[in-house]
Every structure is written in C-alpha cells, then in structure tokens.
Chain A
Amino acid sequence: MRIKKKDLLQLELISTILRDDIITMIHEANSGHPGGSLSIADIICCLYFGKDRYGENILRYNPEYPDWENRDRVILSKGHAAPALYSALGEAGFFNKKWFSELRRIDSILQGHPDMHKTPGIDFSTGSLGQGSSVGCGIAYAAKLQNKDFKVYVIAGDGELQEGSNWEAFSIAGHNKLDNFCLIIDSNKLQIDGSVFDLNDIEPLEMKFKSFGFATRRIDGHNYREIINALDHFKNCRKSNRPFVIIADTIKGKGVASIEGNVDYHGKPIKGQIYTEAKKYFKKKSEKLSRLLSCKKSNSQIKVIYETIKLKGLELMLKTWD
C-alpha cells in the first residue's frame, strides 16, 4: 500500500501530540505508567487516526456515538497503558480534554485502568493482565453470530504473554477461525522487574502464534509505514480465515530519549528536568511538523484537519478543532 509523505507527517504530528498528552496527564496525576504508554503510542495513533488504502479510517468509530453497535472494538488488555488510549480518545473527541488533568483523581472519568462505564470510547474494562483476549474472542464470536462486520483489536504486552490465560484465548481464536480478531503485541522487551528475556522469555512468538492458528506479521512498532500496512492488510486483504497477530517491536518509553529502554519507568511518572525537556521537545517537534504540513497555528496550539468519511451509508465526521 502506497502511503503519501503528507500522511506520514500527519501521523507523526498526531503521535507527538498524543505523547505530549500522555506525559502531561501522568505528570498531573503524579501516578501512572509512562513507559508502556509511550511504546504503544504510534500504533494507537495509526489505529485511531490512520487511513487505509481506500482513504477510510483504519478504525471504525464515531465519537458522537460511542455505543454504536457496529463500531470496531478496541480492548487494551495491557490496561496500564490507559494514558495512551485516553490521549487518542480525548483528541478524537470522545470527551472533553480537560479530563486529562483529572487522570486517577477521585470522581474522574479517567480511571487508572480502562473502565467501560466511566469513559466514553472504552469498549471493555481491563487492568488485570491476561483477560483482554478472552473478552475479545467473545466479542469477535458475537459479531460473527450476529452477521456484523466490525473488527476486534486486542492490544497486549509481551510480558503479559507470560500470563497463561492469554494462550487459552488464542487457542480458541484459532480453533474458531476468528478472522475478525486482530491481536497487537506491544513487544517493548521490558516488564517491571527487568527484561522479559531474562525473567521468562516468551519468544519465539511468530512460531507460537502460527501453531495456535494465527496469521502473523512482525513489524517495527514505531514505523508508520509498517504499522499502516499491517493494519490495512488485516482490514482489507485477508484471504485466510485465521485470526491475525501483529507483533510490534517497540521501545519502552519511546519519544522521551532519556527514559527509552529504561525499566524504571514502567510505573514511575516522568518529572523534573526530564519532563521539562520532553515537553520542550514535543512542542518544537509539533511546531516543525505543522509548518511542514502548512497547518495554521494560533497561540502555539495545533490544528489538525480531518476529512469527512463515508462508511457504509453512515457518515462519520471527524472534527476540526483548535
């Protein structure tokens, strides 16, 4: 699939905005998981704001109708990366961005881990690792039973795959030929107590997934071309009736150079000088990208423009905002 340079730049701009949102909300809360949120930011960006070969949004959703029955489902099985998901949902317009500063605070709609009853746009509650895939299988199965054509995306961590319940779900997905089920593994190589390789190595992943009946693709989880191609392939040109897994090699803390690959930042907020410098970097980068994209700028805010998308008779309008 050919991707225009302009679209790549736009994805880079949006993911810069998402990263800025992520570290800001965690800083405000003085609590949260920056490492694993930053590693998945590019994939989340492509899911929510990327376009497929037909110019359609990768993910089928409408912020005005978060309960739309035929929407694609996203289950963040690695629920601690909630800030990444919240940043996308906030920027897409599911809720007012003022809630970013209320992350993890009492009475907030943004809980520490995704809560489907509190946050518009969250399709299922997660937090305890190893459960998202089984829920995703149930939803994928329901879609087939109801003759609906929406897709189910489950995002899991590599450390999370140590949890055996995942593999029960994978076996069921393969056995029941859930080809509307797309698993994305954020393989950032680190968990809390060290590297996944040292504690309990889960590789070789492609072989394992193939043996469970999945079609597999391994990508660089920070390369927009590779991400979009993989997602577009799942959405538009699957020939087999197997579930699909995208194994994305990523860097924990990607985007904030001084914490990249640092195991300490699994659950530690970015503060002090590292925070200030990261904020400066994101600002500079987004200003540069806006210039390249000839976006209008006002008061150093970024304006991102989306087109109207027609989707099987339902008009999906994504907003323009300051």
Chain B
Amino acid sequence: MGLKKLISDKTLREYKEPTATRQAYGNFLIRFGEYEKIFVIDADLSGSLQTKQFKNKHPDRYLNLGICEGTMAGFAAGLASCGYIPFINTFAMFHSTVAYQFIFQSIAKTKMNVKIIGSHGGIHTGEDGDSHQAINDLAVMRSTPNIKVFEFSDAIQTERGLECILLDDGPAYIRLHRNKMPIIYDSSFKFEIGKGYELFAGKNIAFISSGIMTHYALKLAKLAGNCRVIDMPTIDPIDEELILKVGKENKRIVVMQDHFINGGLSDAVAKVIADKNLDILFEEISLRDFAESGKPKDLFKKYYNL
C-alpha cells in the first residue's frame, strides 16, 4: 500500500493524559508497523524506546543487536542501501557520542534514509546522571550536513511529526524524552517539517523552545502576560520566516533549551537574528556545564532556575 494513503488511513489515537514522547513513538511504530519498508533496531534498550510491541507484531523486521550503538548505525545504513527505512533506537547520548562516527560516515555522508531515534534527551532524564543525560546531541546532529533535527513537545506532535519524517527521504535525528509531558496539541494538528508553531500570541517577550522547555515556556508566558510562545520542533532546518516575524513584532526573544549553551536551538535562533540583522534583545536559558543526578524538577530548578 502506498505510504501516503496508509498515513491518511491510520487514525491517530486519542491523547488526553500526559504521555512521554517516547511512548508516542512506540505507538507510532504500532500504527505504521505494517509498512514493509520499516525496520526497527534496538541496542539493548527496547524497554526505554518502547519498541516491544512492534517487535511482537513484526518480528521479521525487528532486530536487537545488543550493546553496539555504532554498529547498529552502520548495520542500518546497510539495510537502507537495500531499500529499508531503518529506525535505530538508543539513548540520545549514545547516538551523539559512541555511534557518531558511523552516523557521520555511513548515514549523513551517504544520505542513507535512516531515522535516528534518541530518547532521554536533556537533563530532564534525571536520576541516571550526567553520563546518561544528552546535553549536546542536538548540536552534534545540527552540525552534520544532511541530517534533519527534531525535538517534539507532546505525544500528538511526535506522531504527526514522525508521519512527515517517514514520508521524507533522508537521514533524520529525533530527540525524545524519558518523562511524561502534558498534551498541548489536538488531533487536528498538522505538522510540517521546518515550521514552528505559535502557541500563545503576545507583543512582549517571545519564548522560543522545543521539547520539555515548551511546557515551561507556556508556564512563564502565562505568568508574565502578553507573551508569545513559539514551539520549534524542527531544529534544523529552522523556521527562519517565523523568527523573522518575531524579530519584527517583538522586542525580546528568550530561547529556552534543555541543552548545553553551544550548538543547539539558541545558536540556531541567534544565527537567524545575526544573518537577518534583527533588532532584538536576545537571551537564553541553557545549560552551562554537565549536570548531575537528581529529580527532574530539582535539576531544572538548580540548572535553569525554573
């Protein structure tokens, strides 16, 4: 069956309760698992990446390679060269460190159609500590040609976003999260690669964020009043048009990211501001160093003052 038809036929489930983006990913795989080109690979983290149900339904297009994230990426590149659309799954941290040699050489340089799914992004990952919190994964992927970079802020956006990514040909990196997040969008939401979404209109501060930070931005915006909140799920290619609009209509941008200060969403926004000579105050809430173990709430208080 044609992919476009399959996507339009498969209705999205109802999302009401707070749901982790990684859970939504698992649901997406079940929804589209019958598409014979999809191949799912794990590196011993199938529980965390919610791929178990896909494995049970489509065991011939599933493989758990064990603890070898780089080899998983190379293996996926080989599969992609034979027409498959592999989804490779591990913690965001490992894609951008141990597996990066393979992602750079065998996926990005060759433009293989591999979807790189990195869960547990940001310090919001919590108790496992700084060895497992991905704090520069978006920078690493953003700095690599040919990889589109995404971070979703709720379950509905995750599923709709993944539909577009599945239709798109070429490497993609998707940062997902460990913890549940409230539902922001409704089922009528239409995702477009490279577009940001205005969740709140206002002339005062314009918050630009993605992922968990969008929820914090919404909270701040409500407190401050007359603020704008832009959810920017596509980090690369970023929605330059929307940033331009914000630059003309607002006096102050605050970028919020659960990511190290260099190379992530804040740099992407700052570049547009510089390139387009926008006259606007630029501030950011970013990580300045490695973090530590702790409850997500405590970590966000200590490292972001949120």
Contact = CB atoms under 8 A, between A and B. Distances in A.
Interface stretch (A36-44, A132-140, A291-299): A132-140
B82 A143 contact: yes
Nearest to A113: B105
A165 B70 CA distance: 7
A125 B110 contact: yes
B79 interface: yes
Contacts of A314: none
B68 A141 contact: no
Which applies to chain A's interface (DSSP): helix, strand, loop or mixed? Answer: helix
Nearest to A125: B110
Contacts of B3: none
Which applies to chain B's interface (DSSP): helix, strand, loop or mixed? Answer: helix
A122 to B, nearest CB: 10
Given A117-B110, A168-B68, A127 B75 contact: no
Interface string A97-140: 00000000000000000001100000111111011011111111
Nearest to B80: A138
B101 A124 contact: no
B79 A139 contact: yes
Interface residues of A, number: 29
A138 B75 contact: yes
B70 A134 contact: yes
B160 to A, nearest CB: 29
Interface in B61-81: 61, 63, 65-66, 68, 70-81
Given A124-B110, A125-B105, A125-B110, A135 B78 contact: yes
B111 A142 contact: no
Contacts of B97: none
Contacts of B84: 142
A125 B72 CA distance: 17
Contact of A125 (B66, B80, B106): B106
Interface of B: 60-61, 63, 65-66, 68, 70-84, 86, 101-102, 104-106, 109-111
B69 to A, nearest CB: 9
B70 A135 contact: no
Contact of A146 (B77, B78, B82, B109): B82
A141 B111 contact: no
B81 A123 contact: yes
Nearest to B75: A138
Nearest to B76: A138
Contacts of A127: 105
Interface of A: 116-117, 123-128, 130-131, 133-143, 145-146, 165, 168-169, 171-172, 176
A138 B82 CA distance: 9
B74 A131 contact: yes
A141 B79 contact: yes
Contacts of B111: 117
Nearest 3 interchain pairs by C-beta: A138-B78, A134-B74, A142-B82
Contact of B101 (A131, A135, A138, A143): A131
9 contacts: A117-B111, A124-B106, A127-B105, A134-B71, A134-B75, A137-B74, A138-B78, A139-B79, A139-B81
Nearest to A132: B74
Contacts of B102: 131, 134, 165
B105 A141 contact: no
A168 B70 CA distance: 9
Contacts of B75: 134-135, 137-138, 141, 169, 172
A138 B77 contact: yes
A137 B86 CA distance: 14
B43 to A, nearest CB: 10
Contact of B106 (A135, A140, A145): A135
Contacts of A140: 78
